[in-house]
Amino acid sequence: MSVYTTLTLKEVQDFAAPYGLKIVDLIPIQGGIQNTNYFIVGENDQQFVLTIFEEMDEQGAGELVPVLEHLGKQGLAVPVPLTHSGRAIQSLKDKPAQIAPRLIGKHPMPSNIEQVKEIAIAQAKIHVALQDFPLERASYRNHDYWLSVAKSIKPTLNPADTVLLNNLLGLYDALTAMYPNRPKGFIHSDLFRDNTLFEGDQLNGILDFYELNKDELLFDIAITINDFCTEYPDVHLNEAKAQAYLESYESVRPLTSDEKACLELYLAMAAGRFWMMRLQVAQKNAELGRTGGDILQKNPDEMRNMLVERLKFVTA
């Protein structure tokens, strides 16, 4: 993620000592937009990830720990946080923080068919594993939340983009009323390639569950298809990869007929949501004066262009 909270090696060493870790180096991680992350290196080249939660309180950050523990027990490749004094979430510079093992691998840039199949199976397993998981989060980024984001962003849009956004929301209202059988559950909400780690075709890690949210499973599917089956700056969907994804996902959890009817709409809506998010983050960074090489700000136009492309295939 981007680095919003700057740390010294001594501060990290003091924080890590109660875990029984002797830290010899720290490396800021760029990528992502919400939390601060560092790679930290211990003796014998042990490697971990230190995360500072910039917008969550201790309770919010701690909600994710039992989820990761549960998924780890299901055999999924997730980073289960370390604990000391009976807690995984501690405090660093008056913000919640944690240490987790560093999972080894590379982001699949570009992805291949086998990697697409692997992430599809893993995502379906997550959806099944968390279907009845006893968790309540303080807030959910569901459709009502995204409508509020769109409402706040809309006054800043030019006329053409306002029409584009209104068209998307209108199609969403029309089609979702026609096809209501769309299961909900806990979803990752941010399963892009840069939140996965592969060694060759083997999936070694699924990262950054901070956006874990109760919403339609189809949104999670659409987010991942959009990213794993697209090569920026080209925003066209790779049909062979998308078909491979769907076949692999359905080997674990078959889609409902209504989900299948709405998939093309949700590919557009997922692009629209991240267009809104990136515009929102850009506004917040400007308001807070966040600048410099350690602040990553993803390009909203990538998602806007994807939205335009995906809408070509949606009919009400």
Q: What digits encode the pLDDT tens for the residues 55-78? A: 888 988 898 899 999 999 999 999
Q: pLDDT of 73-100, one tens digit each?
A: 999 999 999 999 999 999 999 999 999 9
Compute how many other C-beta atoms are within 10 angstroms of the C-beta atom of residue 101.
14
Q: Which residue has the higher pLDDT, 114 or 281?
A: 114
Q: 1: pLDDT confidence band, cut at 50, 70 and 90?
A: very low
Q: Are 190 and 211 in contact (CB under 8 A)?
A: yes
Secondary-structure class of domain 9-101 per CATH: alpha beta
Q: Token digits for 86?
A: 């009976």
Res 33: pLDDT: 63
The answer, yes or no, to whether residue 187 has pLDDT greater than 80, is yes
Query: What is the mean predicted confidence (pLDDT) over 170-189?
Result: 96
Domain edges within the chain: 9-101, 113-311
The answer, yes or no, to whether residue 316 has pLDDT greater than 60, is no
Q: CA 278 to CA 275: how far, in whole Å?
A: 5
Q: Are 205 and 241 in contact (CB under 8 A)?
A: no
The rounded mean pLDDT for the chain is 92
Res 295: pLDDT: 52
Confirm or reject CATH 3.40.50.10260 for domain 113-311, answering yes or no: no
Q: CA 197 to CA 79: how far, in whole Å?
A: 11
